[in-house]
Structure 1
Amino acid sequence: MIYPPVAMDIACWALFACALDLLLGFTGLLSFGHAAFWGGGAYVAGLVAVHSGLPFPVAVLAGAAFAAVLAVPIGYLSVRLRGIYFAMVTLAFAQMVYFLVNQWRDLTGGENGLQGVPRELFGLDLSDSFVYYYVALPLVLAGFVAVWRIVRSPFGRVLMSIRDNTARAQALGYPVDRYKLLAFVLSACLSGLAGGLFAIGHGFASLESVYWTTSGQAVMMVVLGGIGTLWGGVLGAALVVELNDYLVTAGFEGIGIVTGTIFVLIVLVFRRGIWGTARHLLETRSGGRGASPGDRPPGGAPDGSPAPTEGVGSPV
């Protein structure tokens, strides 16, 4: 049985992982700076809820809007880079956000975080985590639908063409940098939505939410489930959150050792991730029928193996 607070955590992290996979798996850009959007959405949603008394969906949407606005200058300065250079620049921007949140103590609470975030919704009693889960679930589902619709749209097809062959996409006349920037902003907006729901659910926004390890954990969830599979991030989030909850409940302190070991083993055994490997086996048995282009792993290799993200290790 999964308790409502854990189920809500899984839903929020799953949306965060899907938002990151939109950038990593379908655009070919590895970001280590998405903690800025998850955490930024969390803090803004918390501040709006604390100081305005508006219903929590309004606060959460305000956090998502802030994440999207924040992503515009960061993305504009980052999307022209490729591979490890893009990853490091996004990480640098995220650390700047972390420093700002830590130093602006009068607003954010600094190391103590933003505490006492209320759950307001037209007088309803949302103190029960079970009630909050079902009230907040439509927002999470709306985020999943948005990601699915983006991937299945013509815009998503262009993103996949940029991921697989940037030069060819440019030759066809597509403004590659503009598409990358829009994908970056959409991914950030959905990450901010997930972060806002997470902060409202826990009643506080912590400094850890904007730290770089949060980005790393989201990347790990995507890799575990399968890059470019979209729903693999949901499976990866469920596994990581459930494992962390079990270890914490058991009083085990070396959580990083266990999760790291499992991550290495899964990457070595399942090169496409758990979801990607299972789907590949089913497609192989069925002769490859029923797979749409958006469901294939990055790179489109003949054997179905995933290709590295765009330009990894290549010059700027």
Structure 2
Amino acid sequence: MNALCFAIFACAFNLLLGYTGLLSFGHAAFMGSAAYVTGWLIRSAGWSPELGLLAGTLGAGALGLLVGLVAIRRQGIYFAMVTLAMAQMIYFICLQVPFTGGEDGLQGVPRGKLLGLLPLDNDLVMYFLVLAIFVGVFLAIVRIVHSPYGQVLKAIRENEPRAISLGYDVDRYKLLAFVLSTTIAGLAGSLKTVVLGFATLSDVHWSLSGEVVLMTLLGGMGTFAGPVVGAFTIIGLQNFLADRVGSWVTVIIGATFVFCVIAFRKGIVGELLAWQQRRRAK
């Protein structure tokens, strides 16, 4: 379930980087803020899990709109730096405001019952809910990319001045892509809080933004399955190695990433697709 949540997060990031060409260094802020909103509403306000998930997702989308209105005016590394700066502001807000629990985070978030019927305390029920949401998000992203709007995003990624010369309002298209990406990232954070029962500062820390970049590049940027493969690879390595090598897990994951960047420039899925194309060409 945790890996599926991060796969949703990576797919959201890939929509922004892989298909729009915008590199955000602050995406963890949207995942983490949604996690806090959902956790507080379910635990302290007594909301049902479906309303908590919806509120966290919409909250992340609204926050993404505010950040996007500022960041979208910049391009390249300047866009990345603005998103990082805004994300750090959100991190310190989450550290200081009382309802987040500070360094202790929000603990003991109950799963409750979905629609008052399905007991999410049952891990099997919770798993199929997470799986259904993941499949829905994955199919929605596929539809977005294959739509006329998605084709414009690809045009902006490949050659933004040409897209402008064709009459497209590039900033509006990029802002919508940013909001869509942050909304889906918020859904991942909200779902993760319900699954694990807590939200902590690590959910909004800049290092998590780096991890999602790693997942996307490792699996294959600009491919549908790449972020999913990358998320499962990173989360799987973390879970497998944590009890065996301790703090060395970060070094091993870093070395794995360096090896894949050198050996698989297009990522795991990207290289497989390129190999299939070469075989068909022959």
Report the Cα offset of residue 52 of structure 1: 3.3
Q: Which residue of 1 aligns with 2:252?
A: 258
Could you say which residue in structure 1 is the equivalent of 2:27? 34
The answer to whether structure 1 residue 116 and structure 2 residue 113 are counterparts is no
Asked if residue 62 in structure 1 is aligned to residue 55 in structure 2, the reply is yes
Whole-Å separation in 2 of the counterparts to 1:115 and 1:212: 21
Describe the SS at the equivalent of 2:246. coil
2:18 to 25, 33, 49: 25
For the residues of structure 1 that align with 2:244 and 2:117, how far apart are their CA atoms? 37
**CA-atom RMSD in angstroms:** 1.3
Provide the C-alpha distance between the structure 2 equivalents of 1:97 and 1:192, rounded to a whole number of angstroms: 14
Please report how far the alpha carbon of residue 148 of structure 1 lies from its aligned counterpart in structure 2 after TM superposition. Answer: 1.3
- Shift of residue 127, structure 1, vs aligned partner: 2.4
Partner of 1:138: 132
Q: Does residue 1:88 correspond to 2:47, yes or no?
A: no
Report what 2:239 is aligned to. Answer: 245
Residue identity in the other structure for 1:174: Y
**Structure 2 residues without counterparts, runs of 5 or longer:** none
Tell me the residue number matched to 2:41.
Answer: 48
**How many pairs align?**
280
Distance 1:151 1:49 in 2: 33
Q: Does 1:100 align with 2:93?
A: yes
How far did 1:135 drift?
A: 2.6
Q: Structure 1 residue 252: deviation in Å?
A: 2.8
Partners of 1:40 and 1:67 within 8 A in 2: yes
TM-score (norm 2): 0.96
Q: Distance in 1 between matches of 2:195 and 2:108?
A: 11
CA apart distance, 1:251: 5.1
> Among residues 145, 149, 153, which one is paired with 1:151 in the alignment?
145
TM-score by length of 1: 0.86
Cα deviation code 1:75-127 (max 9, x no counterpart):
011112111111111000000000000000x2100000011111112154322
Partners of 2:17 and 2:11 in 1: how far apart?
Answer: 10
Distance apart, 1:265 and its partner CA: 0.3
1:56 maps to a residue whose letter is P
**Take 1:237 and 1:130, find their aligned partners in 2: how far apart are those partners?**
21
CA deviation profile, 1:149-189 (whole Å, cap 9, x unmatched): 11111100000000001011001110000000000000000
Q: Following the alignment from structure 2 to structure 1, what is the Cα–Cα distance between the partners of residues 268 and 129? A: 30
- The letter for the 1-side match of 2:96 is Q
Partner deviation per Cα, 1:294-316 (whole Å, 9 max, x = no partner): xxxxxxxxxxxxxxxxxxxxxxx
| Maintained 8 Å contact 1:12/1:194 | yes
Corresponding residue number in structure 2 for 1:297: none
Gaps of 5+ in 1: 1-7, 289-316
Match of 2:281 in 1: 287
Q: Distance in 2 between matches of 1:172 and 1:194?
A: 35
Q: Which residue of 1 aligns with 2:183?
A: 189
Quote the Cα distance in structure 1 between the aligned partners of 2:201 and 2:50.
22
Q: Distance in 2 between matches of 1:287 and 1:71?
A: 43
Instruction: Tell me the CA shift for residue 144 of structure 1.
Output: 1.5
Q: 1:202 aligns with which of 186, 190, 196?
A: 196
> What is the SS of the residue equivalent to 1:114?
coil
Q: Percent identity?
A: 47
Q: Which has the higher helix share?
A: 2
Q: Secondary structure at the match of 1:138?
A: helix
